[in-house]
Structure 1
Amino acid sequence: MAPKPKVLATNPVFPETQALLEAHATVEINRSLDPWSYQEVRQRCRDAAGLLVFMNDSIDANFFAACPDLRVIGAALKGFDNIDVQAATDAGVWVTIVPDLLTIPTAELAIGLMLSLGRNIVTGDRNIKANGYSGWRAELYGAGLASATVGIVGFGLVGRAIAERLAGFQCRLLAYDQSVSVALAASWPSVTMTSLEDVMARSDYVVLALPLTDDTRHLINSRTIAAMKRGARLVNPARGSLVDESAVADAIGRGHLAGYAADAFECEDWALEHRPSGIDRRLTDLSAPTVFTPHIGSAVTDVRREIELSAARSILDALAGRVPSGAVNDPGKQLAHAQPAAR
């Protein structure tokens, strides 16, 4: 009997995920909440056929050169900017993602961030816990969502899920997305599709729902922030480097932005060589009008379990010679193209 292939999981996984993988593979798992370094993952993966990766991993061309047995990377993610897909394809390695399970949890968190930021929920909670409570005071006045103009930048699955959930708040909804078809726009009569400049100029809240690409990195910068209406609030449940955090801190300091809420940060976009080492301290000061969560957009227990299982099934499919679900490349075609023509 042939030995089972090795599958490496770079972060702790649910027992169900481990059991599924162990039925078909020898499994090595990082059981600590502290992530392995790039070098350690590469070293442990040298004899692995499958790799289950998460948000805190970065996979580049040098990684594939050191892992000749690798056949598939299953990302428990929707975004895959931390994986060099072209290098994977060149190395004959499948890359799979989980494209839809993160949509609703991320949209829900976006609404929570908007409410927390506008209504000073986190500040109120912190004040009571630090100082106790003796009754109402005329303080912490904020902004609600009812009748607010909300601009959604990016109108894919997450952007549309955010719009759907905001409908109950009677918001005026604007959206910007260059890739939206006329038919899709027509199917959302409650949303006005417009330019990025118009979204910025008219919105009380701007919510980001974009992937991180070369074109979207620092889409929110000093210039686009200056185009926002004074007193607007910015919400980022997507990718940290969509936003120039230093520019946001400057705008809050000038009083141009009324607040910033985020679930993702520049410092964790591991594939970017010149990312900052942490969050701008002006934004994490307790007096700053900010609300931050530690990248918990998909952190709903049942959802995370199914995300892992979906990624694990894709790994097992690829190892069994089947086309895996959620594939973002096709190394088989690349390899076939590289073969010399038959004589």
Structure 2
Amino acid sequence: MNVRVNSKRPAVVLTQKAFAETRERLAEHARLILNDGRNAWSASRLKEEAYTAEAIMAFMTDRVDEDLLAGCPQLKVVGGALKGYDNIDIEACTQRGIWVTNVPDLLTVPTAELAIGLTIGLARHIVAGDAFVRSGAFTGWSPRFYGTGLANRTVGIIGFGAIGQAIAQRMAGFDVRLCYSEISDRSETREYPEHLPLHALLEASDIVVLAAPLTDTTLHLINRETVAMMRPHALLINPGRGSVVDEVAVREALLANRLGGYAADVFEMEDLSREPRPKAIDSALRRHPRTLFTPHLGSAVADVRRAIEMRAAENIIRVLMGGEPLDPVNRPLKHDIEC
């Protein structure tokens, strides 16, 4: 449903169904073009809706590329209601004088919490146990569903930015040995926990947690070669970006009993910056008994999502009012913004 009131006001496109508070805040400054459905717009639909827009609130399901930007001559800001922004062509926006913003901090804690949940769920066969009880077959204790505890295990975290550090803080309470491998040259090596090169971390860890962004460097960081470095009983946990993992390589390792299990909240098919990319989760991987999957729930905490949208809205409003955003990802080469 499109809300088009007072056409002299700048138009803002919200590409996904947003909280009422977000819509009300933006409506104080702009006319809104809303996607009130549950599904993301197609690329052609988004281009059509955004033709007159000065701002887009973008979500992970949106691909903001040169083709879209070419059809949005009035666009001033892409306000991402997200942390990672690999689905947005930053260079193209910069060249066109368009601000790009993200929400860098609010997703950290809920993503770290989910990473812990995925780890415990996979290690302790919680989904299989739940299904067994619901089937009616459970009549009392019996020796089955033996899993892996966390205490005294080595947990390796790949990527040690805000999310990696938040995961480490929470894992520390389980009496694990913590180590990390940093994939960014810009990050300083930290004394705590133990820093290891990637190959050494993979060889040493009982549980490997991926907290790396998707970049050219991290695309398929976990592949046939790196999976082969892991212990056969090791668990791989991916709460970050799907395409950091080669899902075919993981499926092959699971089928060959060269990997203990795989849990993920994110999948290769979601990463719009990749073309070509898988259009679905590998069916054999999806059905494998030593896997645990959630539908991208990392930030799916109601008050957190509300705060993320409001922060994205504030970034948009500041640009529309002639100022600079709170959370800029880029600095446009030109941005002739009228007050």
Return the TM-score normalized by structure 1: 0.94
Q: Is the 8 A contact 1:52 1:311 kept in 2?
A: yes
- Measured in 2, the distance between the counterparts of 1:110 and 1:97 equals 22
- Measured in 1, the distance between the counterparts of 2:85 and 2:18 equals 19
Deviation at 1:27? 0.5
- Measured in 2, the distance between the counterparts of 1:71 and 1:37 equals 22
Aligned to 2:3: none
Q: Quick check: 1:107 aligned with 2:112?
A: yes
For residue 291 of structure 1, give the secondary structure of its aligned residue in structure 2.
Answer: strand
Q: Is the 8 A contact 1:97 1:326 kept in 2?
A: yes
Q: Is the 8 A contact 2:262 2:290 kept in 1?
A: yes
Aligned to 1:126: 131
Amino acid at match of 2:320: L
Q: Quick check: 1:64 aligned with 2:75?
A: no
Q: Quick check: 1:98 aligned with 2:100?
A: no
Output aligned runs, 1:281-300, within 5 Å: 281-285=283-287, 287-300=288-301
Give CA-to-partner distance per residue, 1:59-93, whole Å, 9 cap, x none.
Answer: 11111111101100000000000000000011111
Amino acid at match of 1:163: A
Unaligned runs of 5+ in 2: 1-5
Q: Quick check: 1:83 aligned with 2:88?
A: yes
For residue 281 of structure 2, give the secondary structure of its aligned residue in structure 1.
Answer: coil
Deviation at 1:131? 3.4
For residue 94 of structure 2, give the secondary structure of its aligned residue in structure 1.
Answer: helix
For residue 73 of structure 1, give the secondary structure of its aligned residue in structure 2.
Answer: strand
Q: Is the 8 A contact 2:7 2:31 kept in 1?
A: no
Deviation at 1:229? 1.0
Q: Is the 8 A contact 1:7 1:52 kept in 2?
A: yes
Aligned to 2:276: 274
Give CA-to-partner distance per residue, 1:125-166, whole Å, 9 cap, x none.
Answer: 122222342111211101011111000000000000000001
Q: Quick check: 1:335 aligned with 2:331?
A: no
Q: Is the 8 A contact 1:282 1:288 kept in 2?
A: no
Q: Is the 8 A contact 1:155 1:180 kept in 2?
A: no
Amino acid at match of 2:319: A
Deviation at 1:180? 7.1
Closer/same/farther in 2, CA of residues 194 and 292 from structure 1, 3 Å limit: same
- Measured in 2, the distance between the counterparts of 1:262 and 1:13 equals 26
Output aligned runs, 1:1-343, within 5 Å: 3-179=8-184, 185-186=190-191, 188=192, 191-285=193-287, 287-331=288-332, 334-335=333-334
Q: Is the 8 A contact 1:219 1:243 kept in 2?
A: yes
For residue 49 of structure 1, give the secondary structure of its aligned residue in structure 2.
Answer: strand
Deviation at 1:199? 0.7
For residue 131 of structure 1, give the secondary structure of its aligned residue in structure 2.
Answer: coil
For residue 335 of structure 1, give the secondary structure of its aligned residue in structure 2.
Answer: coil
For residue 150 of structure 1, give the secondary structure of its aligned residue in structure 2.
Answer: strand
The percentage of counterpart residues that share the same residue type is 47
- Measured in 2, the distance between the counterparts of 1:247 and 1:84 equals 28
Amino acid at match of 2:114: L
Deviation at 1:182? 8.8
- Measured in 2, the distance between the counterparts of 1:43 and 1:3 equals 19
Give CA-to-partner distance per residue, 1:31-65, whole Å, 9 cap, x none.
Answer: 11111111111110000001001111111111111
Q: Is the 8 A contact 1:150 1:207 kept in 2?
A: yes
Closer/same/farther in 2, CA of residues 127 and 23 from structure 1, 3 Å limit: same
- Measured in 1, the distance between the counterparts of 2:258 and 2:136 equals 30
Deviation at 1:184? 5.7
Closer/same/farther in 2, CA of residues 194 and 67 from structure 1, 3 Å limit: same
- Measured in 2, the distance between the counterparts of 1:139 and 1:89 equals 57
Closer/same/farther in 2, CA of residues 163 and 133 from structure 1, 3 Å limit: same
Aligned to 1:339: none
Amino acid at match of 2:229: A
Deviation at 1:113? 0.2
Return the TM-score normalized by structure 2: 0.95
Q: Is the 8 A contact 1:54 1:77 kept in 2?
A: yes
- Measured in 2, the distance between the counterparts of 1:3 and 1:86 equals 30
Unaligned runs of 5+ in 1: 337-343
- Measured in 1, the distance between the counterparts of 2:100 and 2:224 equals 35
Q: Is the 8 A contact 2:123 2:147 kept in 1?
A: yes
Q: Give the number of the structure whose residues are more often helix, by fraction.
A: 1
- Measured in 2, the distance between the counterparts of 1:71 and 1:237 equals 32
